Structure 1
Amino acid sequence: MARNPALSGILFAAGGTIIFSVNDVAIKFLSGGYALHQVILIRAFVAMTFILCFIGFSGTGFRQLRTRRPRTHLLRVAIVMVSNVTFFLGLAALPLADAVAVAFVSPIAITVLSVLFLKETVGPRRWAAVILGMIGVIIMLRPGAGVIQPAAIMVLCSAILYAAGNLLARQMGSTESAMTLGFFVQAGFIIVSVAMGLWVGDGHLATEDPIWAFLFRPWIWPPIGDWPIFLATGLAVGIGGMMVTQAYRTAEAGLVAPFEYVGMPAAIVWGAVVFGTFPDLTAWVGIALICGSGLYTLWRETARKKEAHAA
């Protein structure tokens, strides 16, 4: 796999996105009773524990946390943090599949931004794959069906910021490991969440608005039954986050971006299993287009590698 960074990037992106979907459904489940910054704080502690253990057993150990790019890390942490907060605030007020559908503007944004800022070359076949997946998302989004609302706009903003964060990961990949990138992000989450808890954790800004209630409700001690969900969201963001970051570190952004569309079918499955919503025929058409775009890109990349070796 090391000799084929494109294929490994694709596998990391697809696998990491599927694991990340556990985080989305867990946050959606917890959004009815907890403050967002409390959820993020517990999640970040779990993810940080996983990352530190992983770093401790890695070949270079904690030496890899030394960096000459603290400002770039700070910028990426801020982008990822705002992206997370806006997505989860929108997720609290939208059905899971609708929120994830809007969020999948990010792969096409990544492809466009990779051309503009990283000077990557994206051929017509890759553009076709991204556009095909985007058409699938639009079919599932069903414009005019009431999805376009303030919560959806938050998710859209989150998607664009998410694209920018992944492009920074691509830019920093030559000097920073995926574990280092993950460490600084989780450290940022812990610091900001603690600060938010000290400021509004008593609930003095609590509101009944479905979006802002998630941000300003008071902290509570989670019952034992909710701790496995907190553990799941922390492990999902720790493992899935490192896998997606590794994908963008090692492969071209325009190549791996379409494979994040596998999160859409995952959201459909989670919606059916956890929240009792099941896709209709139109939704299945969208799923087919989304999956087809990723599979076509994988086939094309494999064929291109064989042609290169044959030559």
Structure 2
Amino acid sequence: MYQSRPQNNALAATLILVATAFIAATTLMAKSLGTDTLGAPLPALQISHGRFLFAFIGLCTAATILRPSFTSPRWRLHIARTTFGWAGVTLMFASVAFIPLADATAISFLNPVFGMMLAIPMLGEKVGRVRWSAAVLALIGAFILLRPTPSSFQPAAMLALGAAVVMGMELIFIKKLAGRENPFQILLVNNLIGLIIATCAVLPVWQIPTGPQWAVLAGIGLCMATAQTCFVNAMARADASFVAPFSYGTLIFAAVYDALFYGVRPDSITYLGAAIILAGAFWLALREAHLKKPSPAQST
């Protein structure tokens, strides 16, 4: 039986902020690989393959040192969760080669909204007017970021939107796995399955990376493994409703990285759309926290 960690909100918040810095770094590196910055652009399928390959190597190395205890994995849940996670990260890596990191990151924050919608048919959850209004608000922000006019519409933004949808599906299976297995085991199994899926998918489009591209692929995998480790340990030490707002730091880091390395600065549309999405997502997180509070009768 997996033993939960003691609650520590300060440590959880710190871990989430560290995770957001590493997650934003992976999208920055994916952008360098998807453009001609380091050589001929690599396909998104190859970038996501590198992410799973080197993350798995890093986690296996950590496992040999830490020697954590394992239980029997719930393979069906892991396979479903990882399939959607692999699809989501591949679409995300594809999108950042064409649109600003801040736009792609902001759109990705729609995944809890889609997760809420999908939980209705898949988990039998009931969604009230407040939660629906928060979801609609976030979707309005995404509509603004898509810039739906003939002169400014960016088709690649639909890739980021697709990533949010499938990552919302991943959330359904994360909920089913939550608290059932050791967080390190979940990470290791997730990356093992992801590596198998990514290897099969990349074979038709594989191309030999340059030396710098190999280094960046390794960096993506190790940064993602570090981010995942921080994230699952944060979730084990604090309520999801407390942790969620700190995850929005990814947007700040993404905008800073894009400005520093590519000279891309958010415009007024990015600020407006991102603010509306974050307002909707934050409102949804607050509502979820309220719904999870025990009633006076339950707490006595």
TM-score with structure 1 setting the length: 0.71
Q: 1:157 aligns with which of 154, 162, 167?
A: 162
Q: 2:259 aligns with which of 272, 293, 310?
A: 272
Distance in 1 (alpha carbons) for counterparts of 2:281 and 2:246: 5
- Secondary structure, counterpart of 1:64 in structure 2: coil
Q: 1:109 aligns with which of 114, 135, 141?
A: 114
Which piece of structure 1 moves more, 238-247 or 76-85? 238-247
Match of 1:26 in 2: 29
- Secondary structure, counterpart of 1:233 in structure 2: helix
Residues 1:238 and 2:251 aligned together: no
Residues 1:41 and 2:49 aligned together: yes
- Secondary structure, counterpart of 1:175 in structure 2: coil
Q: 1:169 aligns with which of 171, 174, 187?
A: 174
Q: How does 1:70-89 map to 2 (within 5 A)?
A: 70-89=75-94
Match of 1:64 in 2: 70
- The alpha carbon displacement at 1:131 in A equals 7.2
Distance in 2 (alpha carbons) for counterparts of 1:193 and 1:53: 20
User: RMSD in angstroms over aligned alpha carbons?
Assistant: 4.3
- The alpha carbon displacement at 1:85 in A equals 1.6
Q: 1:219 aligns with which of 208, 215, 236?
A: 208
- The alpha carbon displacement at 1:155 in A equals 1.6
Question: Percent identity, aligned pairs only?
Answer: 24
Change (3 A) 1:177 1:220: same
Q: Is the 8 A contact 2:134 2:283 kept in 1?
A: yes
- Secondary structure, counterpart of 2:96 in structure 1: helix
Structure 1 stretches of 5 or more lacking a match?
202-217, 303-307
Q: Is the 8 A contact 1:40 1:193 kept in 2?
A: yes
Distance in 1 (alpha carbons) for counterparts of 2:230 and 2:135: 21
- Secondary structure, counterpart of 1:144 in structure 2: coil
- The alpha carbon displacement at 1:276 in A equals 0.4
Distance in 2 (alpha carbons) for counterparts of 1:22 and 1:45: 17
Residues 1:53 and 2:56 aligned together: no
- Secondary structure, counterpart of 2:114 in structure 1: helix
Distance in 1 (alpha carbons) for counterparts of 2:140 and 2:127: 19
Structure 2 stretches of 5 or more lacking a match?
36-40, 290-294
Tell me which amino acid in the other structure corresponds to 1:237.
M
Distance in 2 (alpha carbons) for counterparts of 1:120 and 1:10: 28
TM-score with structure 2 setting the length: 0.73
Q: Is the 8 A contact 1:13 1:259 kept in 2?
A: yes
Distance in 1 (alpha carbons) for counterparts of 2:47 and 2:270: 31
- Secondary structure, counterpart of 2:209 in structure 1: coil
Deviations 1:233-254 (A, max 9, x none): 1122102123334556676656
Deviations 1:173-213 (A, max 9, x none): 22222222221222123223333444332xxxxxxxxxxxx
Tell me which amino acid in the other structure corresponds to 1:263.
T
Deviations 1:238-272 (A, max 9, x none): 02123334556676656644443322222211110
